[in-house]
Amino acid sequence: MSIPARTRQEWQALDAQHNLHPFTTFKEIVDKGSRIINRADGVYIYDVDGNRILDGMSGLWCVNIGYGREELVQAAARQMRELPFYNQFFQCSHPPAIELARQLTEITQPHINHVFFTGSGSESNDTVLRMVWRYWSVLGQPERRIVISRKNGYHGSTLGGASLGGFGVVHEQFFGPIPNIVHIGQPYWYGEGADQDPAAFGLARARELEAKILELGPDKVAAFIGEPVQGAGGVIVPPETYWPEIQRICDKYGILLITDEVICGFGRLGSWFGADHYGVKPDLMPIAKGLTSGYIPLGGVLVGDRVAGVLKRDDDEFFHGFTYSGHPVACAVAAENLRILREEKIVEHVRDTAAPYFAERMSELAEHPLVGEVRTRGLMGAIELVRNKATRERFPAEANAAMTCREHCFRNGLVMRAVAQSMIVAPPLVITRAEIDELVDKARRCLDLTARDLGVH
C-alpha cells in the first residue's frame, strides 16, 4: 500500500499543515486536530484509534448501500482494466455510460428518458441552469431566465450551485447570488410556522412561488428548483400540501419544475426519487451521491421529454460538459450499485421496514426535555433542540447546543450532524432494526449528556 502507517497525532499534524478542508474554519483544524477515519464496514466507520462509530449520516448522505461492498470494487477494477478513461465529447461514447443511462431511465418516471452525466451534485445543478437557459432560448423566449429557489435550500458549492442555495452567509463570501436567481421562503413549519396549521402553512409557502412569479412577470420566469426534503438545511420535511401546490403553480405558468434529488434520489425516502414520493412530475432531476453510494464521484441530470425534445432539435452545440462527464469507471460502479439496490430490494426495505421502524423509534426522543420536535421522512430525520418545549424557545447561540451534542455523539460512537439548533441523521439504507435501536439509544444518551452540560433537567 502506498499510504504509510502513521499515528493519529502524526496524521493530525500533517493534515493541519497541508490539507484545507471543505466547509471548515481552517483555524479550528490547527487548534483541535481532525478526526481521522481510516476504514469502514456496513453502517460503521472506524477511526485510526480503532473506535467503531455508527455512521448516522451515510458519509455525506451518500453511502446508501453501506460500506465494504466488494462487488463495487470489482466493477471498478474490471472497468479500469478495460477502459479506464474515455470522454463523451466530439461524438464519442462508451458502453458503461450508455448502459447506465439506459438503466437509469428504467427507474425514473416514464417521461424521463435522458441523462446528462457530470462529476458531482454541484456540477449537476450548474448543468441544470445551463439547460434551463438553453431550453428557453431555443424556444425563442430567452427573456425567461429567472430561476426561483428557496431560502435555506442547498444545491452545491460551485457558483451556480451556491447561488441556487439559499444561505445568505454563503452568498456574502462570493458577492452572490449570480444574476437571475431569486429565493422564496421554505416550508419549515416547526421553525417558521408559528401557530399555523401545518397544511395551511404548506400551502402559504407554496403560494409564495405564485406571488413571486406574478411579481417578476410570468414571461420572465424559467424554472423552480427545490429539494423534495431539504437536507443540509436541516431535514426540512414539507407539509403534505406543499408539493402538489408547487406542481399546480408550475403547470399554470408553464415553468420548468426541478427536484434536486442529490440526497433524496436512490431510495432515501423509500422511493427511487423524492419526486415519486411526493407525486410530482419534474422536468429535470439533478442526481449524485447515492448514484454510486459515494464509492466514486459521479453525478448527472435526469432530463424529461419536454426539455430533451427541445435540446435535441437545437442546431447549435450545447457548450457545456466536463472531462469526467460519464467517466467509465464511475458509470460501471454506478451500474453495479443500481444492481444491488434493485436485487436486494433496498428501496423496498426502506419503505416497508427501515423507515417505519426508524420513525417509531425516533419519535420516542420527542419526550426528552431538550427536544422540541422529532421529524422523519424515509431514512432522514431531525431532532430540534429547545430550551422550552412549550414556547419553542431556543438556546442562545453561544450555548453551542447542537455542537455540544455532536461532540458527545462522536465520543459515544455515533455520527449525527449539527445544523443550527438541530441534530440530523440519515443512516445507510441497509440499516437493520438492531442498528436503528443502537442509533436511537446512543442519540438519547448524547441528548442526556448535552442536557447535563446545558443545565437542563
Residues that bind ligand PMP (CB under 6 A): 60, 120-122, 125, 154-157, 161, 227, 231-232, 260, 262-263, 288
Quote the least distance from Cβ 65 to ligand PMP, whole Å: 17
Cell triple for 372: 422540541
Quote the least distance from Cβ 269 to ligand PMP, whole Å: 13
Quote the least distance from Cβ 375 to ligand PMP, whole Å: 18
With H, G, I as helix, E, B as strand and everything else as coil, classify residue 236.
strand
Specify the residue, 292 or 404, whose C-beta has the smaller distance to ligand PMP: 292
Specify the residue, 154 or 266, whose C-beta has the smaller distance to ligand PMP: 154
Query: What region does 207 belong to: left with phi over 0, alpha with psi -120 to 50, or beta?
Result: alpha
To 10 degrees, the CA torsion angle through 346, 352, 353, 358?
100
C-alpha 330, offset from chain centre: 19
Specify the residue, 298 or 440, whose C-beta has the smaller distance to ligand PMP: 298
Quote the least distance from Cβ 229 to ligand PMP, whole Å: 9
Specify the residue, 330 or 401, whose C-beta has the smaller distance to ligand PMP: 330
Closest CA to 53 of 418, 424, 439, 382: 439
Quote the least distance from Cβ 261 to ligand PMP, whole Å: 8
Quote the least distance from Cβ 227 to ligand PMP, whole Å: 5
Quote the least distance from Cβ 156 to ligand PMP, whole Å: 3
Specify the residue, 154 or 190, whose C-beta has the smaller distance to ligand PMP: 154
Q: What would the DSSP string read from start to end of 141-203?
A: -TT--EEEEETT----SSHHHHHHS--HHHHHHHT-PPTTEEEE----HHHH-TTS-HHHHHH
Q: How far apart are CA 159 and CA 176, in angstroms?
A: 8
Quote the least distance from Cβ 263 to ligand PMP, whole Å: 5
Position with the least CB separation from ligand PMP: 121
Specify the residue, 118 or 404, whose C-beta has the smaller distance to ligand PMP: 118
Specify the residue, 256 or 440, whose C-beta has the smaller distance to ligand PMP: 256
Would you report the helix, strand and coil content of the chain in percent, each value rounded to 5? 45, 15, 40
Q: What would the DSSP string read from start to end of 11-50?
A: HHHHHHHH-PPTT--HHHHHHH----EEEEEBTEEEETT-
Specify the residue, 156 or 372, whose C-beta has the smaller distance to ligand PMP: 156
C-alpha distances out from residue 16 to 6, 144, 171, Å: 15, 47, 27
Quickly tell me which residue has 466507520 as its cell. 45
Enclosing H/E stretch for 425:
strand 422-425
